[in-house]
Amino acid sequence: METTPPEPTPPSLFQNPLYLHPSDGSGSLTFQEKFIGAQNYRAWRRAIEIGLSTKRKLGFIKGTVIRSTTDANLAEL
């Protein structure tokens, strides 16, 4: 009984901002700046933005990530 190998994931899928890699969990980002309040809000916000942008997930917070309705393969994401 032969089993067919799984289809390889297209590289374009990894470039899609909606793609969540298994290492994109909440514990994968560490921040040196602890939020205290108004006194360090700017530094904390900048640390969060840098951390999310390195993972290419800042668009989720800013609301700039748009789901593709034209590509059937990506519509399932």
User: Any alpha helices (H) in the chain, and if so which ranges?
Assistant: 11-15, 41-54, 58-62, 72-75
pTM for the whole thing?
0.59
Q: Where are the domains of the chain?
A: 34-64
Which whole-number Å values give the CA distances from 16 to 27, 33, 35, 55, 77, in the listed order?
A: 21, 29, 31, 12, 10
Q: What is the pLDDT of residues 5-59, one digit of tens each?
A: 666 566 667 777 777 777 777 676 777 788 899 999 999 999 889 888 888 888 8
What whole-number distance in Å separates Cα of residue 62 and Cα of residue 65?
A: 8
Q: Specify the residue for token string 């800042």.
A: 58
pLDDT score, position 41: 94
Q: For residue 77, is pLDDT > 60? A: no
Which of 68, 54, 52 is CA-nearest to residue 18? 68
Of the two residues 36 and 66, the one the predictor is more confident about is: 36
